[in-house]
């Protein structure tokens, strides 16, 4: 099989990490997400994934957070069949194919231009592709503003510098009449600790950001209201984690403070 080489910058290269984690999950006997297309996609890339030093915990939590964000999108598109979906910092995620939204839904996958170019070459999808730097304004002009929207930002927050994530959020919530924003939240400590994580170190990333209080985005001037903070150490899928990870995760689940340092899904309405 001909394998293609991704030519990506440091931040863009993080998409290979999440793709690979989903691919490894798909190979498990009892996968959490079971995304075979991610496994096929990763298998076609000429890249030394071993250098990412991806451990089982990262595989399972990445698959689990993707599954929970998929659930948010599925619920919203079922309740609003004419809505718009935005996947911000989509990387090479196959979310649209997993969620299979109703035909009236318009789905936009947005990432840096070099990333969406890779998507159009290597990933079959019927989504609209928008190549943009999300720290800049102007890219929203290409997106309808008269329909409700569900906006997903998976693995994006830590890589947006300064207050650019907040600024982008304000632009988004002013653009649409109503909607939901769902993201995987990183605490400040988790974001700080991230740069010492072997995988992130392997990619050469030195700064990341997060916030502790799930209510904090309500003060960003974006009219956001927290609907749900879902602590993933308490998800039923933990029963499928192999030991000793399952026992360790269940132990962590007893402490909300500790659990928040891992993965949590935050959902806001506007």
Ligand X SMILES: C[S@@+](CC[C@H](N)C(=O)[O-])C[C@H]1O[C@@H](n2cnc3c(N)ncnc32)[C@H](O)[C@@H]1O
Residues binding ligand X (CB under 6 A): 11-12, 14-15, 18-19, 89-91, 93, 111-112, 115, 133-135, 154-156, 159-160
* First and final C-alpha spacing in the chain: 47
At which residue do the structure tokens 């997903």 appear? Answer: 152
Least distance from C-beta 250 to ligand X, angstroms?
Answer: 25
Using the minimum distance from each CB to ligand X, give the nearer residue, 138 or 244: 138
Least distance from C-beta 201 to ligand X, angstroms?
Answer: 15
- 252: exposed, middle or buried (C-beta count within 10 Å: 0-12, 13-18, 19+)? middle
Least distance from C-beta 62 to ligand X, angstroms?
Answer: 7
Using the minimum distance from each CB to ligand X, give the nearer residue, 105 or 203: 203
**Radius of gyration for the chain, computed over Cα atoms and rounded to the nearest angstrom:** 18
Two tokens, residue 3: 């394998």
Using the minimum distance from each CB to ligand X, give the nearer residue, 21 or 105: 21
Least distance from C-beta 19 to ligand X, angstroms?
Answer: 6
Using the minimum distance from each CB to ligand X, give the nearer residue, 18 or 169: 18
């Amino acid at each position: 099989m001909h394998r293609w080489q991704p030519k990506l910058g440091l931040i863009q290269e993080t998409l290979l990490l999440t793709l690979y984690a989903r691919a490894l999950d798909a190979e498990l006997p009892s996968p959490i997400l079971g995304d075979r297309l991610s496994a096929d996609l990763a298998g076609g890339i000429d890249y030394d994934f071993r250098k990412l030093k991806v451990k089982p915990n990262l595989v399972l939590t990445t698959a689990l957070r993707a599954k929970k964000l998929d659930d948010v999108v599925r619920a919203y598109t079922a309740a609003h069949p004419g809505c718009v979906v935005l996947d911000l910092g989509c990387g090479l995620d196959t979310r649209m194919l997993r969620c299979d939204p109703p035909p009236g839904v318009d789905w936009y996958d947005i990432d840096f231009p070099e990333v969406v170019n890779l998507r159009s070459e290597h990933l079959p999808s019927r989504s609209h592709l928008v190549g943009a730097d999300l720290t800049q304004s102007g890219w929203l002009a290409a997106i309808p503003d008269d329909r409700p929207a569900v906006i997903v930002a998976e693995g994006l927050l830590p890589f947006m510098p300064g207050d650019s994530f907040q600024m982008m959020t304000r632009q988004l919530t002013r653009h649409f009449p109503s909607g939901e924003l769902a993201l995987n939240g990183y605490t400040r400590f988790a974001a700080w600790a991230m740069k010492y994580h072997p995988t992130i170190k392997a990619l050469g990333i030195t700064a990341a950001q997060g916030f502790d209080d799930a209510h904090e985005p309500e003060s960003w001037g974006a009219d956001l209201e927290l609907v749900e903070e879902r602590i993933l150490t308490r998800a039923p899928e933990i029963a499928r984690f192999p030991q000793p990870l399952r026992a360790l995760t269940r132990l962590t689940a007893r402490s909300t403070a500790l659990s928040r340092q891992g993965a949590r899904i935050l959902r806001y309405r506007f």
